[in-house]
């Protein structure tokens, strides 16, 4: 299905609505002033500012068991038809940033296939229900994407389930904090690279032949792409690779009319953090050292993925958009 080209007025209206959609829970219902203008929200206190309680789950962890649960925009995101008729595949779409993007894409009019690790099925079921509640097609694709065969099968299943593919979000990631390189095993290093950079390479390679001009690939990079955390040596190395992969692939695919961009999050409250993403005893410090004084929530990133996926960002390719609470690049 071809996306309708909106007028300038529609574009501006959609942009405003898209930003408003990421407002704090409840704002979409009662967040307008008497004059009908949007209510101002202090970003420092929009979400939890208190330290998170120490907790741990076996990898890959479930968002539904986190304390407190992350906000993926379940009650706050309101769409405006900016991705009407698009067909999206999102890896790591069961929770965290991928879940927030999946909810937003569906409410903007896209059909969505989500990939997730098989043990994350409980979280994935919730996302599928939310996509269908938005009136869009949902395709659930559990798979361990650390092999070439799994990546190729994933794309084939997404194309078959959606009837095509024009949006790809490479978001799934593996993160483990280790104080020293001596603590990082070969197996862990291998798993980090296979999940974080081999999979986006393989999935993109399989997806591109199905993508027409106007299609978009969005990769999830990180502040660690620019300023690596000393305890995240393996993870940061892959995120640096994703940054260059994004910029290099964008130069190649511009010749086909396909845009490639990335979002670079800072500390975001997702299952990665409770499944080994933070050193033991350090979870209470998560996000506290940002200028905003808190960690971010997945819902705060969803509008960035929508913007990069939409035709409104048609002149943006090879671009990296930051969301880091004031600490980091770009």
Quick one: fold of 55-323? Rossmann fold (3.40.50)
For 234-255, write each residue's pLDDT tens digit: 999 999 999 999 999 999 999 9
Does this model's pTM top 0.85? My answer is yes
Cβ neighbours for 265, distance < 8 A, ≥ 6 positions apart: 97, 220, 221, 222, 223, 296, 301, 322, 323, 324
Instruction: Write out the DSSP string of 133-186.
Output: HTT--EEEEE--TTSHHHHHHHHHHHHHHHTS--EEEE--------SSGGG--H
For 11-60, write each residue's pLDDT tens digit: 333 333 344 343 333 334 345 555 567 889 999 999 999 999 999 999 99
Q: Where are the domains of the chain?
A: 55-323
Q: Is the pLDDT of residue 80 over 90?
A: yes
Rounded mean pLDDT, 142-171? 98
User: Which pLDDT score, from 0 to 100, does residue 157 have?
Assistant: 98
Rounded mean pLDDT, 298-316? 97
In the block, residue with structure tokens 């996302």: 127
Q: Is the pLDDT of residue 273 over 70?
A: yes
HEC states along 264-327?
Answer: EECCECCHHHHHHHCCCCCHHHCCCCCCCCCCECHHHCHHHHHHHHCHHHCCCCCCEEEECCCC
Rounded mean pLDDT, 71-84? 96
User: Which pLDDT score, from 0 to 100, does residue 99 have?
Assistant: 98
Rounded mean pLDDT, 55-70? 93
With cut-offs at 50, 70 and 90, classify the pLDDT of residue 329: confident
- Name the strand (E) or helix (H) holding 260: strand 259-265
∠ CA 117-173-232, rounded to 5°: 135
> Residue 135: which of 110, 160, 167, 162 has the closest Cα?
110
Rounded mean pLDDT, 109-132? 97
Q: Is the pLDDT of residue 298 over 70?
A: yes
Structure tokens at 147: 């092999």
User: Which pLDDT score, from 0 to 100, does residue 36 have?
Assistant: 63
With cut-offs at 50, 70 and 90, classify the pLDDT of residue 256: very high
Cβ neighbours for 190, distance < 8 A, ≥ 6 positions apart: none
For 161-203, write each residue's pLDDT tens digit: 999 999 999 999 999 999 999 999 999 999 999 999 999 999 9
- Which residues in 17-42 are b (16+ Cβ under 10 Å) and which e? bbebbbbbbebbeebeeeeeeeeeee
Alpha carbon distance 104, 18 (integer Å): 9
Instruction: Return the bridge partners of 200, or none.
Output: none
Residues 171/197, Cβ–Cβ less than 8 Å: no
**Angular region, 328: left φ>0, alpha ψ -120 to 50, beta rest:** left
User: Which pLDDT score, from 0 to 100, does residue 328 have?
Assistant: 75
User: Which pLDDT score, from 0 to 100, does residue 26 have?
Assistant: 36
Alpha carbon distance 115, 5 (integer Å): 29
User: Which pLDDT score, from 0 to 100, does residue 6 have?
Assistant: 39
Long-range contacts made by residues 19-24, C-beta under 8 angstroms, separation at least 24? 19/303, 20/78, 21/73, 21/76, 21/77, 21/78, 21/79, 21/80, 21/104, 21/107, 21/302, 21/303, 22/73, 22/76, 22/77, 22/299, 22/300, 22/302, 22/303, 23/76, 24/76
> Residue 72: which of 274, 303, 248 has the closest Cα?
303
Residues 92/73, Cβ–Cβ less than 8 Å: no
Q: In what order do the strands lie in the sheet with 111-116?
A: 138-142, 111-116, 87-91, 167-170, 216-220, 259-265, 320-323
Active site residues: 235
Residues 105/88, Cβ–Cβ less than 8 Å: yes
The proportion of the chain whose per-residue pLDDT surpasses 70, expressed as a percent, equals 89
User: Which pLDDT score, from 0 to 100, does residue 330 have?
Assistant: 74
With cut-offs at 50, 70 and 90, classify the pLDDT of residue 115: very high
Alpha carbon distance 239, 224 (integer Å): 6
């Amino acid at each position: 299905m071809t996306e309708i080209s909106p007028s300038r007025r529609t574009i501006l209206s959609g942009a405003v609505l898209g930003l408003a959609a990421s407002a704090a829970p409840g704002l979409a219902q009662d967040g307008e002033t008497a004059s009908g203008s949007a209510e101002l929200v202090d970003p420092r206190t929009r979400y939890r500012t208190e330290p998170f309680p120490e907790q741990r789950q076996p990898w890959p962890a479930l968002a539904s068991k986190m304390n407190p649960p992350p906000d993926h925009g379940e009650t706050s995101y309101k769409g405006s038809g900016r991705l009407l008729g698009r067909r999206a595949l999102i890896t790591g779409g069961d929770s965290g940033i991928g879940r927030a993007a999946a909810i937003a894409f569906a409410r903007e009019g896209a059909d969505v296939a989500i990939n997730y690790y098989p043990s994350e099925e409980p979280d994935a079921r919730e996302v599928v229900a939310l996509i269908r509640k938005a009136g869009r097609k949902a395709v659930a694709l559990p798979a361990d994407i650390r092999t070439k065969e799994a990546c190729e099968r994933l794309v084939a299943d997404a194309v078959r389930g959606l009837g095509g593919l024009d949006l790809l979000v490479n978001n799934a990631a593996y993160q483990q904090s280790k104080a020293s390189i001596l603590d990082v095993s070969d197996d862990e290093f291998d798993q980090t690279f296979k999940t974080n950079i081999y999979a986006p390479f393989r999935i993109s390679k399989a997806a591109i032949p199905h993508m027409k001009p106007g299609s978009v690939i969005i990769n999830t990079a990180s502040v660690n792409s620019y300023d690596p955390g000393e305890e995240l040596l393996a993870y940061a190395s892959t995120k640096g690779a994703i940054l260059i992969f994004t910029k290099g692939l964008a130069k190649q695919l511009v010749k086909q009319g396909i845009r490639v961009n990335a979002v670079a999050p800072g500390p975001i409250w997702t299952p990665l953090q409770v499944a080994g993403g933070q050193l033991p005893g350090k979870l209470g410090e998560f996000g506290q050292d940002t200028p905003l004084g808190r960690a971010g929530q997945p819902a705060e990133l969803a509008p960035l993925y929508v913007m990069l996926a939409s035709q409104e960002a048609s002149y943006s390719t090879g671009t990296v958009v930051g969301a880091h609470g004031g600490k980091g690049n770009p």
